[in-house]
Amino acid sequence: MASTSRFIEACWGRPHDRVPVWFMRQAGRYQEGYRNLRERYSFLEMAHNPEICTEVSCRPVEELGVDAAILFSDIMIPLGPMGVDFDIREHYGPVIAHPIREAGDLARLHMLQPEDDLPEVFLTVEQICRRLGSVPVIGFAGAPFTLASYLIEGGPSRTYQNTKRLMWEQPSVWQGLLDMLAEATVRHLTAQVRHGAQAIQVFDSWVGALSVEDYRQFVLPVMKGVFNRLNALGVPTIYFGTATGSLLPLMRQAGPTVLGVDWRTPMSEARSRVGTQVALQGNLDPVTLAGSWPAVEDHSTHILREMSGDPAFVFNLGHGVPPEAKPDNLKRLVEWVHQFPGPA
């Protein structure tokens, strides 16, 4: 049934009835129910509890009417079984106890065995699929560069100084780390598809910190290998990063089915940069959701008109839903997007 959904059809660039819409971070702190759970559990406790993850993943579909669910988890989750000691701190992000800075540090890592290491994740995927029926479930994982940046920096960074220095000055260590993370990403996503995910998204949240040439040399070859293997699974593959306007043509070369576009690049400009052989997803500025409805309507209508008639377009945000978002804005936005017809 999921193969007939407007979301899946748009990912493949096929005819569908209405513009499909879902939101990155559509389960999160803007929801009262989610905030209540966070008062009782840490994020990692939630992420390893199949019942909580199922509930949190399904609520946006049932409350907002979006066209796809996305697994509630985090890109860091597979790193725990690989030997990484980390925590996720509220309002900050991941904190790595022992960052990777040299060749010897790689010896601490071992390869992910998905079903053995994280059975709760795949039980969650199965439970979401059963609960939502024909609504497709999106699985996801972190991209090698973004995971590597956390491991090297020890947490979030503005400059990625340590990451770039290791990349430039210790290329063999960089390549070894990226190869291991790429294998883990492929294994994790393949297992999600095996347990029912009908599309998969690779989050390369921080790759926009790189120049075009550094992406071409140090990241693109690995991502080509990742998407070559993922595309063999027969489900749409989505590749998303922020501040990646200049990288979009190279990200297209990596081979995803769908490219996510952040709010900095107009959708029409993104389409001209990457051509028509890839679907686009995006790209409302998430900040609008914290304001008045007229601003949301105005900005979203501009995007919808830009992409009118494009068979390969999925409406989304340019990044995740912020905690300050008004739930009513999200619900009205879904209803508004669904008034726009898809290509017949």
Q: What is the pLDDT of residues 102-117, one digit of tens each?
A: 999 999 999 999 999 9
Confidence of residue 3 (pLDDT cuts 50, 70, 90): very low
Average pLDDT value for residue range 299-327: 97
Query: Would the pLDDT of 1 be above 70?
Result: no
* pLDDT tens digits, 27-60: 999 999 999 999 999 999 999 999 999 999 999 9
pLDDT for position 4: 75
Residue 235 in 3-state DSSP?
A: coil
Q: Cβ atoms within 10 A of the Cβ of 335, count?
A: 12
Residue 38 known to be catalytic: yes
Residue 29 known to be catalytic: yes
Q: Closest Cα to residue 166, out of 149, 182, 181?
A: 149
pLDDT for position 209: 97
pLDDT for position 2: 42
Catalytic residue among 6, 25, 187, 271: 25
Average pLDDT value for residue range 62-77: 97
The Cα 138–Cα 230 span in angstroms is: 14
Residue 89 known to be catalytic: no
Catalytic residue among 150, 160, 215, 239: 150
Q: Closest Cα to residue 147, out of 202, 191, 215, 198?
A: 202
- The answer to whether the peptide bond before residue 228 is cis (omega within 30 degrees of 0) is no
Average pLDDT value for residue range 230-259: 98
Average confidence score pLDDT of the chain:
96
Residue 273 known to be catalytic: no
pLDDT for position 275: 97
Of the CATH numbers 3.30.160.40, 3.20.20.140, 3.10.350.10, 3.20.20.210, which one belongs to the domain with range 22-266? 3.20.20.210
* pLDDT tens digits, 151-188: 999 999 999 999 999 999 999 999 999 999 999 999 99
* pLDDT tens digits, 244-255: 999 999 999 999
Confidence of residue 92 (pLDDT cuts 50, 70, 90): confident
Average pLDDT value for residue range 286-314: 98
Catalytic residue among 6, 34, 67, 74: 74
Query: Would the pLDDT of 216 be above 70?
Result: yes
The Cα 35–Cα 229 span in angstroms is: 37
Specify which residues 88 forms β-bridges with.
94
Average pLDDT value for residue range 320-342: 97
What is this structure's pTM? 0.97
| Whether 88 contacts 74, CB under 8 Å | yes
The Cα 77–Cα 264 span in angstroms is: 29
The Cα 19–Cα 56 span in angstroms is: 24
Average pLDDT value for residue range 195-214: 98
Residue 165 known to be catalytic: no
The two structure tokens encoding residue 165:
């220095």
